[in-house]
Amino acid sequence: MNCSRPTFKMLKTSVFAAVKKMVEIVGKGSEEEEEIEATILNIPKLKRLTLRQLPNLKSFCSGRNTIVSSSLESIEVIDCPKLRRIPLLGGEECPASLQKIRVQPSWWDSLDWNHFGHTKVDLQTFCQFEF
């Protein structure tokens, strides 16, 4: 099911920072929705996603759901040790607009790469490491 919620259509920048108890950003829909099929949430104008100091964040999007943005230019993930996947890059292709992924080297090395359609080496060309 393709979903483009009005509240997300115009979103251009999304910053989540210093929220110690946050475990998930986009939660599950109703149980009935979860049982039917996976949902693709399209945020067409999102250019920048920043996740900083979220020590308990485990996922950006829950369950079988996927978030996509064809305008995404920058992803920053700093001090989110429990997050094991790069938000918005779970599909088969990277957005053509992607310019940088800013991360800590230790986090990058700990990612779960089994869900990606691309390899670590492919995405590393976009990386700017923060030490």
pLDDT per position as a tens digit, 72-82 = 999 999 999 99
Residue 11: predicted pLDDT = 82
Nearest to 98 by CA among 85, 87, 84: 87
Give SS3 for 75.
Answer: strand
β partners of residue 17: 52
Residue 69: predicted pLDDT = 85
Residue 36: predicted pLDDT = 52
Kindly report the pTM of this predicted structure. Answer: 0.81
- Domain that includes residue 99, residue range: 2-129
Give me the residues of the chain with pLDDT under 70, please: 1-7, 27-38, 62-65, 87-93, 115-118
Total domain count for the chain?
Answer: 1
Cα gap 79→77, rounded to integer Å = 7
- Helices marked H in 15-104: 31-36
